[in-house]
Amino acid sequence: MESNWKPLNRPRRLRQTQALRDLNREVRLNPSDLIAPLFVTLGDNPPEPVASMPGVFRLSLADLLGECRELAGLGICGVALFPVIPLGLKTPNGSEALNPKGFILQVIRAVKDAVPELVVFTDIALDPYTTHGHDGVLNSQGTDVDNDSTVEILRQQAVLHASAGADFVAPSDMMDGRVKAIRLALDHAGFVNTGILAYSAKFASAYYGPFREAVGSAQAAGTRKLDKRTYQLDPANPRAAIVDALLDEQEGADALMVKPAGPYLDILASLRRETRLPLAAYQVSGEYAQIHAAARAGWLDLEATRNESLLAIKRAGADWILTYFAHEMALALRQH
């Protein structure tokens, strides 16, 4: 018997042409959504490739300023600065982080002078400065990071960065109470307009290895496999991530972050429902590296996978996306 059945509803009608697909696109990625993480080194050497991150370099200050100018010209609004500290300046307590003449403070001033329209985010943590590669100072037994001693250093570090012109300080350490302590320190020092982007839901992830190579914390510690589980979040605990993030909001954070981004889109979407603050997500070094590795093997299309991964982060609720694809993605969006 011949069937007369035909579908009444045909969602494919809205997908028939590129114009229709454009009209019905619900989520759009813009250059202004992106923040570019940048690695900066002492000296005037040419850009040094990060072996595990194709297309990413450790830059001299001069090259960094050139990159910042290009990024601003492409419509990118922010950069996140990460210093590569020479091994000779690393100490167990990360004392170089409090050097009032420190290299990163010179970098912040130079970027704000050269490209004042860029929003400068600076990392508040001790892992680039310590010989052991942890985000704070160790306790007397050397077995764990001492929370309160570390927070005292972070307060001072944040004030130094604000005094150099940072628009946002971004504590990435995951110490308890550090957002309130930093907010009070900034306000007391007169930096009431300096924002705090809190790494609020930062997981003890396996995806950070290439970053640790890039800043030299792995080299200092002698391993990429640093165990930070006593202070970073357990990947198995979504509720704990929301608790930590909302505590940061209560303590005065101006924006919250989920890190890594791609493997934790569920956390990002859940947090989006819980807060009205701007929400950032960090597409970390391991996410970037695995996309490149699969593309080099011929298993994935680099551009299509890059675009889809970033769109997924935006779709899950991120207002700001920190990504090593920022420069090339902004170029691609402008050409489109």
Q: Which residues are catalytic, by number?
A: 202, 259
Please tell me whether residue 196 adopts helix, strand or coil conformation: strand
Q: Which residue has the tokens 């990071």?
A: 145
DSSP sequence for 150-162? HHHHHHHHHHHHH
Q: Which amino acid would we find at residue 221?
A: A
Q: Which one-letter amino acid corresponds to residue 163?
A: S
Helix, strand or coil, per DSSP, at residue 119 = strand
CB 320 within 8 A of CB 261: no
Residue 286 and residue 52: Cα distance in Å, rounded? 9
Q: What is the DSSP letter of 173?
A: S
SS3 for 284? coil
| Cα distances (angstroms) measured from residue 255 to each of 48, 211, 260, 281, 302 | 32, 23, 16, 11, 30
Cis status of the peptide bond prior to 210, with omega within 30 of 0: no
Task: Please tell me the distance from the alpha carbon of residue 254 to that of residue 84, in angstroms, as a whole number.
Answer: 27
Environment class of 8 (CB within 10 Å of its CB; exposed 0-12, middle 13-18, buried 19+): exposed
